[in-house]
Chains A and B, each alone.
Chain A
Amino acid sequence: MTPDELLALAQQVVDQARPDEEIEVACSYGSSRSIRVHGGEVESLTTADNTGIGVRVLVDGREGFASAGSLHAEVVADMLREARDNASFAEADEYVGIARPDGVPAAHIDLWDDGVAATPNDVKIDLALDLERQVTAGDPRISGVRVAAYGDNEASFALASTAGIAAASRATSASLSVQALADDGDRTQTGFAYDGARSPDKLDIGRVAGRAVSQAVDLIGATKPETMTLDLVLDPHLSATVLGLIAGTLTGDRVLKGRSPFVDRVGETIGAEALTLIDDATDPVSFGADSHDGEGLATRRVPLVEAGVLRGFLHDSYTGRRSGDGSTGSAVRGTRGLPSPGVHALHVAPGSGSLDDLIADTELGLLVFSLAGLHSGVNPVSGDFSVGVEGRMIRNGALAEPIQECTIGSTLQRLLLDVTHVGGDVVNLPSGVTTPSLVVGGVALSGRSA
């Protein structure tokens, strides 16, 4: 279905609003392919069409929601009925409601590439097979590949509401990922890498294979280190992970409900001076780019932290009204859930120096390969941060022995303040984060008791 067809369907439901109702309807349609290969053969090839609808109904400040994975007329009618019924049991809040158009013009952003549809499945299968081959041939110590995968998606989305919002968009994406296994006879090490683009021809197989191979092979012989304090060197992938967690605590709902360590701190220094974080979905180059947010408002440039000073939070229409700050066009959602404020396209302002320069400037540090247990080891309310880590030690400016089975511990608050260097090597990642490498000083590494 085209975005316009979806929009017409959404509008049809909205038009059924009773005089005392506000209605917002989100519809999506997508077709996707997912290919997994193993041992030079296709392990699975999945083709799918996905549809979804989410209906939000508001009556006197009370909100009800219903969603379904089908756009059949009978199901859609059922969802409208359910959402209305649900609204009658919720409690009123004067700030609850759908977004009102606020006059901010939407950026024109083209997220569609015909390459996804134009590329035959055989070529896509070959991409995954080639990736597996390149990993296997990448180093004699590679003992296998757990999985090499290709995936792509063509998606349309439309949103209409009784406030007069009517937004429709479409986007394509393609990705490659691989997990390499390296065996030193004693232990099996893993290296994971991925790439994403708007079209399969823009995927960089060589880079994905190279990263997966080097991470797995470089961990061979890893041992558990002694407990110590050291500097963390994070390449752009790892910087994106850590800063993404922090940006996730800067949302209006967390702040208004007293669930963020950064409540009441706007205008204060919360990070190192070298650190500037901006959420900017209007940057067409970012993979998090979008002309509209999940409530149909134009996205905009939202400064979060500038030179270490907290500038503000991410708001959707509800938290924008309640805080008095207005929506920042930061609503994120699928059709299966209600919108909430979140990060679209985090940008970290570059400093200077390459990853190699940052390593060379580090006396005692750890070049992080991967973090484990982010969902259980990071508390976004208290800020407590304790995660498993593996990587290579840095001693006197040079990469040294690999380590694993250890953790790093800090708090999200401390990590921001302890950033000592921001690199100049900005990378635009498929996750939507655009960031250079970072160094965080003086972090506790827990391993063997000394």
Chain B
Amino acid sequence: MISQDLVERTLGVALGGGAEFAEVFAEDVRRGSVSLDDGRIESLASGRDRGAGIRVVSGRSTGFAHTADLSEAGLARAAKAAAEAVRGAEPITAASIEPRATTPGPVAVAPAEVEKATKVELLRQAEEVARGTDPAISQVGARYAENRRRILVANSDGVLATDDQTRTLFSVSCVASGDAGLQTGTESVGLSVGFELFDRYDVSRLATDAANRALTKLKARPAPSGTLPVVIGPGSGGVLFHEACGHGLEADLVRKGASAFAGRLGEQVASPLVTLIDDGTMAEEWGRFAIDDEGAPAQRNVLIQDGVLVDYLWDGIRAREDGRPSSGNGRRQSYRHLPMVRMTNTYLAGGDTDPADIVASVDHGVYVARLGGGQVNTASGDFVFGMVEAYMIEDGQITAPLREGQLIGNGPRVLQQIEAVGNDFEMGPPGTCGKDGQGVPVGDGVPTLRVAELTIGGTVS
């Protein structure tokens, strides 16, 4: 993207006004998608974004400018703008650049090399299978998306590293129509791999699952309201930990007093059954990368060990202020954004209980087979997340399906209330985590688990 010489000269311009740290982040993204809706391949879309963001740090202030112009003049202009935004510390000389070897995730079949007609065929197959499931399926949508993101990060500490990230996604969404109105079912898969995604997953199976989810909900009854024990199924339940404590463990929020977990390192913050890990190295997972968007290698970080808070998540800036290394969690949506502390693949380690026993242990509660997105107020710790597929548990048996509703809880309290952890760990579907207006791909996962009490946002008291 940019030569080492040009990187060095640009860093020189960025440091020229006096600064402690300067960084060049260059990115070249190519996107492609095909969508089917309403019985028709509606459109194919391609996108290309290429540019660089230049960051200059002086004291606690950061200047940042970005440009789509990767010429020497364009980069120099951005570097000057970033430098002018912070006022002068003592000028430093950049450490000499040492290119660092990285190992991008392997891609067996580059999606861009695959015929568009093949992608179209996958969507048609998904539609046909979904519509064939049941006459009540009234609408089917399906989407294929590929993304190749190449990045280069270089900074005045002497770092120069690159990564080449490929992600491939497929989703199916169905509407079922019945006497009580419309219901929806969605299924999606995505991995940091190429077109070999479809060797791992069968689109017909995804289509059937999405259709069945919508059909099941046609028979669903309104969710109860009030507090009940909740059993969360494997996979998508990882969003619980993402919201309940993941965000609260991000060092930028901790530092600003905007986290319910601030000042609690070494404390028993969770049930002893909880070991929570954030792992950017997990092969093929959606939140996987070789280096983060500040050039730090991806790491596996244990956050909570047997219920004890071990560490927070760190990016370069926050780590620098604390005199410790980054944990490899500095990420950004694109070259147009500043990096900040973000999760990667966040998961609860598996336990040793048979999931069937966990369900059987509940007299009256709710079983959530699939969670949707969520949101947390990190300061108060209150979080919500959507039940996309849920059932009542009565006398230890999974019974009637429930309509959609939200679950609400308080992170620090819910962590203490994890009463059982199953031995059936799975990663959930690919996610996009939003923070301060930036979205980044993340993964999460859990085994089956039981929470003593969550508030179910239903309408039936």
Interface residues of A (CB under 8 A from B): 38-39, 41-51, 63-70, 75, 78-79, 82-83, 85-87, 89-91, 93, 121, 143-144, 146-147, 179, 181, 183, 187-190, 224, 227-229, 256-259, 261, 336-338, 372-373, 375-377, 379, 381-384, 386-388, 390, 404-410, 444-450
Contacts and interface: CB of A to CB of B under 8 A. Distances in A.
Interface stretch (B11-19, B308-316, B322-330, B381-389): B381-389
A407 B406 contact: yes
Given A69-B68, A146-B256, A383-B181, A447 B455 contact: yes
B196 to A, nearest CB: 22
Contact of A69 (B44, B51, B384): B51
A-side interface mostly? strand
A152 to B, nearest CB: 15
A24 to B, nearest CB: 13
Interface stretch (B91-99, B101-109, B159-167, B367-375): B367-375
A143 B257 contact: yes
B449 to A, nearest CB: 19
Interface string B96-123: 0000000000000000000011001000
Given A227-B225, A379-B404, A90 B455 contact: no
A406 B404 CA distance: 16
A446 B258 contact: no
Given A48-B66, A338-B43, A384 B61 contact: no
Contacts of A68: 47-49
B403 A384 contact: yes
Interface of B: 34, 37-38, 40-51, 59-69, 81-82, 85-86, 116-117, 120, 138-139, 175, 177, 181-184, 217, 223, 225-228, 253, 256-258, 260, 336, 338, 372-375, 377, 379-386, 403-406, 408-410, 436, 455-461
B457 A372 contact: no
Contacts of A404: 380, 382
Given A51-B68, A68-B47, A382-B181, A89 B120 contact: yes
Given A188-B257, A257-B37, A372-B384, A47 B459 contact: no
* Those 8 A-B pairs whose CB atoms lie nearest each other, nearest first: A407-B457, A376-B386, A446-B225, A449-B226, A86-B44, A373-B384, A45-B85, A376-B373
A410 B459 contact: yes
Contacts of B61: 41-45
B45 A337 contact: yes
17 contacts: A41-B59, A41-B60, A43-B60, A48-B66, A63-B42, A64-B43, A66-B46, A67-B46, A146-B256, A337-B45, A372-B384, A376-B386, A383-B181, A387-B457, A406-B408, A409-B223, A447-B455
A227 B227 CA distance: 9
B-side interface mostly? strand
A22 B459 CA distance: 51
A121 B182 CA distance: 51
A259 B139 contact: yes
B64 A67 contact: no
B177 A258 contact: yes
Contacts of A336: 47
B455 A224 contact: yes
Contacts of B256: 38, 144, 146-147, 181
Contact of B227 (A85, A86, A377, A448): A448
Contact of A63 (B43, B82, B406, B436): B43
Contacts of B47: 66-68, 336
A414 to B, nearest CB: 9
